[in-house]
């Protein structure tokens, strides 16, 4: 189980609790409408259903909670081990580049045993605390569901007496606040309330990150190095920004001491806000004489960081609105209310760009095939036979990629739906060396290029360039192994000699000036270049942008 799995497991339990509650409301109305029972009698009937609901939930979810809590040990120990393995690779690469371990290495190796024992105790305490927090949250979740059920029962009559109209509208009014917020049973010190799925993901992600950093630190301790650099990335957390790009002595995970260098201590940085809950920042080892650190931010970079953080906050707000309105649309009893909330879902989805016209997603996190997920597509411009072929190809490459962690591709004929060409190059990050021969030998046929991604990733520059270079490949589809699909349909042809850096020279002009002046590093230039190229390609050649279809079973 991974942190995302725990989040989804709690979200599924929450949905089941709400669905069961609203089914009871709907079912008892149907049973009692013919008898024209009074509200007092209806309330008595619902209170009986509530007692049954409470007992069933205690029994139904006990096993599920035990499975979730039992996975905490595995996640944390796995993260610790992975941290050590990754750090060992980093150290070996530094040695190849000329880094020499300190002369006190033997002494460092001898003290590592005690360091491991201390970390064992810390991690066991972390596992125990996380499981205890989960158990408290699980009880709070069931208790809040019971309390809200009771509240809806009594408030429904109040709204009916004030002229709510139909039974369905009265229940919807009584349940509106609850359905809007969900089972937000976790209250933070600042008064903010959160659902257990959000809290659990934050808690296990934080614990997992600490375990990973522990594994990294243990390996550094073995090799006698404790200096680290907080990685500089495009949109650091505001609390972490003062430390990004700076060298620190890691006295928290790597056994560092103030005498290890004239740098701030990791413990001091953490006390000032570094590595707060939900933090996305990280650090790597600083090897004197090998590593370089850029601990300054330009005014322009800080403006970009501020802009990105604002956009992220707006996006998160919009996503919360979508989630809220989806619950209201799904569980409201009145059909007019269902339609109204459904329309508002579409409005908010448009605001966050659900069709992702300039979306570029990349996270180096593995994804895995799940037969319960939906790998099918239904493109309106193609008939059932073609869509069946596209869906078959999508699921096939996802399965194959899941087995060998490499990319695979099919060419699907957009007239017959046949899977006419298959290729894999045994590479985890690319595919398609020889397909062009088949494409060029069939100039009168049109194809969809379908391939898989083994990590969280939308369409890359190379993916979007393929339909531009080959006129008879108007459709590009990438599927993550977990069923998340990204579809781009070319709406404009380009010259056969298309080269993006020349074609979008004007769009890249400002970036190239920054690079030439030394204000950004070559690595930063490369990352920003790809974002600009992808956005420009989508705007120029793909009228609908990238259509994202989430087939993951939630």
pLDDT digits (tens, 9 = 90+) for 134-180: 999 999 999 999 999 999 999 998 888 787 678 899 999 999 999 99
Question: In this structure, is residue 75 part of a structural domain?
Answer: yes
* Other residues' Cβ atoms within 10 Å of the Cβ of residue 520: 20
Q: Are residues 117 and 191 in the same domain?
A: yes
Q: Are residues 40 and 146 in the same domain?
A: yes
Q: How far apart are CA 266 and CA 248, in angstroms?
A: 6
What average pLDDT score do residues 410-431 get?
94
Mean pLDDT of all residues in the chain? 86
Confidence of residue 358 (pLDDT cuts 50, 70, 90): very low
Question: In this structure, is residue 357 part of a structural domain?
Answer: no
Tell me what pLDDT residue 420 has.
Answer: 96
Tell me what pLDDT residue 543 has.
Answer: 77
Q: Are residues 281 and 334 in the same domain?
A: no
Confidence of residue 360 (pLDDT cuts 50, 70, 90): low
Tell me what pLDDT residue 538 has.
Answer: 87
Cβ contact 216:83 at 8 Å: yes
Confidence of residue 300 (pLDDT cuts 50, 70, 90): low
Q: How far apart are CA 196 and CA 4, in angstroms?
A: 13
Is the model more confident about 430 or about 1? 430
Q: Are residues 105 and 217 in the same domain?
A: yes
Structural domain boundaries, residue 117? 3-223
Q: How far apart are CA 170 and CA 168, in angstroms?
A: 5
Question: In this structure, what DSSP letter does residue 278 have?
Answer: T
Contacts with 552 (C-beta within 8 Å, 6 or more apart), sequence order: 370, 373, 374, 482, 483, 484
What average pLDDT score do residues 469-487 get?
94
**Which one of 185, 201, 223 terminates a domain?**
223
Can you give the length of the chain in residues? 554
Q: Are residues 286 and 304 in the same domain?
A: no
Q: Are residues 418 and 342 in the same domain?
A: no
Confidence of residue 384 (pLDDT cuts 50, 70, 90): confident
Q: How far apart are CA 234 and CA 269, in angstroms?
A: 20
Q: Are residues 282 and 407 in the same domain?
A: no
Q: Structural domain tally of the chain?
A: 4
Tell me what pLDDT residue 235 has.
Answer: 63
Tell me what pLDDT residue 55 has.
Answer: 94
Question: In this structure, is residue 453 part of a structural domain?
Answer: yes
Cα angle 354, 358, 363 (rounded to 5 degrees) comes to 80
**Max CA-CA distance within the chain?**
89
Tell me what pLDDT residue 146 has.
Answer: 95
Calculate the dihedral angle through the C-alpha atoms of 426, 432, 436, 439, rounding to the nearest 10 degrees.
100
Residue position matching structure tokens 């004007």: 506
What average pLDDT score do residues 466-475 get?
92
Calculate the dihedral angle through the C-alpha atoms of 388, 393, 396, 401, rounding to the nearest 10 degrees.
-150
Tell me what pLDDT residue 357 has.
Answer: 42
Question: In this structure, is residue 508 part of a structural domain?
Answer: yes
Asked if the model's pLDDT at residue 31 lies above 80, the reply is no
What average pLDDT score do residues 310-330 get?
84
Calculate the dihedral angle through the C-alpha atoms of 404, 551, 357, 415, rounding to the nearest 10 degrees.
80
Question: In this structure, is residue 459 part of a structural domain?
Answer: yes
Q: How far apart are CA 404 and CA 411, in angstroms?
A: 20
Q: How far apart are CA 338 and CA 328, in angstroms?
A: 7
- Nearest residue to 5 via CA among 243, 200, 253, 182: 200
Q: Are residues 367 and 495 in the same domain?
A: yes
**Which one of 193, 223, 253 terminates a domain?**
223
Q: Are residues 8 and 151 in the same domain?
A: yes
Question: In this structure, is residue 356 part of a structural domain?
Answer: no
Question: In this structure, is residue 205 part of a structural domain?
Answer: yes
Q: Are residues 327 and 376 in the same domain?
A: no
Question: In this structure, is residue 53 part of a structural domain?
Answer: yes
Asked if the model's pLDDT at residue 252 lies above 80, the reply is yes
Percent of the chain with pLDDT over 90: 53
**Which one of 223, 240, 261 terminates a domain?**
223
Give the global pTM.
0.62
Tell me what pLDDT residue 356 has.
Answer: 42
Q: Are residues 214 and 244 in the same domain?
A: no
What average pLDDT score do residues 44-72 get?
92
Confidence of residue 80 (pLDDT cuts 50, 70, 90): very high
Q: Are residues 312 and 390 in the same domain?
A: no
């Amino acid at each position: 189980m991974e942190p995302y799995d725990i989040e989804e497991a709690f979200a599924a339990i929450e949905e089941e609790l709400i669905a069961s509650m609203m089914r009871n409301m709907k079912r008892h109305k149907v049973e009692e409408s013919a008898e024209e029972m009074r509200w007092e009698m209806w309330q008595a009937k619902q209170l009986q259903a509530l007692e049954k609901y409470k007992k069933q939930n205690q029994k139904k979810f006990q096993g599920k909670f035990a499975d979730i809590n039992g996975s905490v040990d595995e996640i944390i120990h796995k993260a610790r081990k992975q941290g050590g393995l990754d750090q060992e690779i980093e150290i070996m690469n530094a040695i190849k580049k000329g880094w020499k371990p300190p002369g006190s290495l033997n002494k460092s190796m001898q003290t590592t045993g005690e360091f491991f024992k201390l970390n064992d105790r810390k991690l066991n305490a972390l596992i125990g605390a996380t499981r205890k927090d989960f158990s408290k949250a699980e009880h709070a979740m069931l208790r809040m569901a019971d309390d809200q059920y009771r509240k809806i029962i009594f408030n429904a009559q109040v709204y009916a007496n004030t002229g709510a109209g139909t039974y369905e509208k009265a229940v919807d009014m009584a349940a509106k606040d609850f359905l809007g917020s969900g089972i937000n049973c976790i209250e933070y010190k600042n008064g903010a309330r959160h659902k257990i799925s959000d809290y659990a993901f934050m808690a296990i992600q934080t614990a997992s990150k600490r375990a990973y950093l522990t594994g990294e630190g243990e390996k550094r301790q073995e090799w006698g190095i404790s200096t680290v650099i907080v990685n500089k990335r495009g949109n650091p957390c505001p609390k972490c920004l003062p430390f990004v790009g700076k060298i620190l002595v890691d006295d928290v995970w790597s056994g560092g001491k103030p005498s290890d260098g004239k740098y701030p201590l990791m413990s001091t940085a953490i006390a000032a806000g570094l590595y707060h809950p939900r933090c996305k920042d990280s650090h790597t080892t600083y090897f004197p004489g090998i590593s370089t650190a850029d601990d300054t931010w330009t005014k322009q970079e800080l403006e970009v960081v501020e802009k990105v953080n604002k956009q992220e906050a707006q996006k998160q707000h919009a996503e919360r609105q979508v989630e809220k309105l989806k619950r209201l649309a799904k569980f409201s009893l009145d059909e007019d209310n269902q339609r109204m909330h459904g329309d508002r879902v579409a409005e908010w989805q448009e605001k966050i760009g659900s069709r992702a016209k300039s979306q570029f997603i990349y996270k180096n996190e593995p994804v895995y095939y799940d037969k319960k997920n939906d790998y099918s597509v239904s493109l309106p411009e193609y008939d059932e036979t073609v869509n069946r072929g596209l869906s078959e190809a999508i699921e096939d490459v996802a399965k194959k990629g899941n087995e060998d962690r490499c990319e695979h591709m099919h060419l699907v004929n957009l007239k017959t739906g046949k899977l006419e060409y298959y290729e894999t190059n045994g590479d985890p990050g690319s595919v398609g060396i020889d397909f062009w021969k088949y494409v060029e030998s069939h100039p009168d046929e049109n194809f969809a290029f379908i391939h898989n991604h083994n990590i969280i990733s939308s369409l890359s520059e190379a993916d979007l360039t393929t339909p531009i270079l080959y006129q008879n490949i108007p459709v590009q589809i990438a599927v993550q192994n977990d069923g998340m699909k990204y579809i781009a349909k070319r709406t404009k042809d380009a010259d056969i000699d298309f080269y993006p850096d020349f074609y979008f020279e004007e769009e890249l002009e400002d970036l190239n000036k920054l690079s030439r002046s030394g204000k950004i590093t070559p690595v930063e230039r490369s990352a920003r270049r790809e974002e600009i190229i992808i956005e420009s390609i989508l705007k120029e050649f793909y009228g609908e942008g990238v259509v994202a279809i989430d087939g993951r079973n939630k």
